[in-house]
A and B are shown apart, each in its own frame.
Chain A
Amino acid sequence: MTPTMYADEVVPCAPRAGTLYDVLELILDRGMVIDVFIRVSLVGIEILKIDARIVVASVDTYLRFAEACNRLDLERDSGSTTVPELLGGGVAKSVGKRKVRRAAESVGDTVRSAVGAGGSDDDEDEERPKKRRAPARDGASRRRRAEA
């Protein structure tokens, strides 16, 4: 019963409030806290923030950026695409851009997965903050590196 109800309640707010992900830190870290009241423990969310930091600063992220950079290079050297063309949108179809997007989105994905803000799979997401997705990505990257 609940997923339907969420959709009803959330849709009117979405255009102005952005996704939950966009304001998550305000809901969790801003707003009044009254000394005499207690505040719920947010252990799951805090673990998640640490995960995100590891992903951002990781060597895997750097290697993904470098790979994208090198691919961009190859495309340009092939003479089929110039940098201005890439800037003009030609890059939108290129492998390089997709790689960068994947690397750049890793943080957002991690945080989004915590609150399930991106998806329609509402209720199952509740337990997802506990899952640590970074190791899976690391594994995939290691495999890519091994292949290279």
Chain B
Amino acid sequence: MIRSTFYKEWLKIRYYVLGALVFNILFFIYLFFDIREPFQNGPAIMAWYSAIHIHTIFYEKIKYLLPATGILIGIAQFIPEITKSRLRMSLHLPVNPNLLILSYVCIGIAAVIVIGIIDIILFYIIVIKFFPKEVSSSALMTGLPWFYSGLVAYLATTQVILETKSGRRIFYAVIFCRFIGLFFMSNEYSSYAHVTERLFLISLLFIPAIFFPLYRFRNGGIE
């Protein structure tokens, strides 16, 4: 059962996941050249100074990469399910619908996490090439909320898509966008250090939140 579920979701999203992965990798190649530029055009120490003491976030361009990836995967996975209400087919399977949707979401989360981990590794490799380890760890600390917001963006997208009524959908979209905005409120490195856990924990609420739109879908989503 799990295998079938995984099989179907993978068939559905594989090209999008691979496409997103390629795009992410290309983006980091671009980031590499972007970070290298000041080292080639001026004294390296000034690039360091700017990064460490002017507090310039020189890798800011990657900010929205993972949330965009999360939204893409959410769309790829759930838009086909709600067009023509195809989700009906899944809901009729001899499986607990909550577990089924949870496994769908887990598959999407897994895809976002895999891309996110590859991103983090590439990011670290690039920064450590040019900067001391203190800067790389600070960059990771700074980037972590951005990467994590990718998961939230994915989950928020699935909710907005699964919700059946447009009014409520707009409400969710506004609230969830604002929530995702919480991960992007600072232009200072490492500034989420004290609140990362808190933010991450409350974001976990997005996982059980998926059951309510599903419940609404099951009880009158198709008209």
Q: Please indicate whether A and B come from the same complex rather than being unrelated chains.
A: no
* A binding-site residues for B, Cβ under 8 Å: none
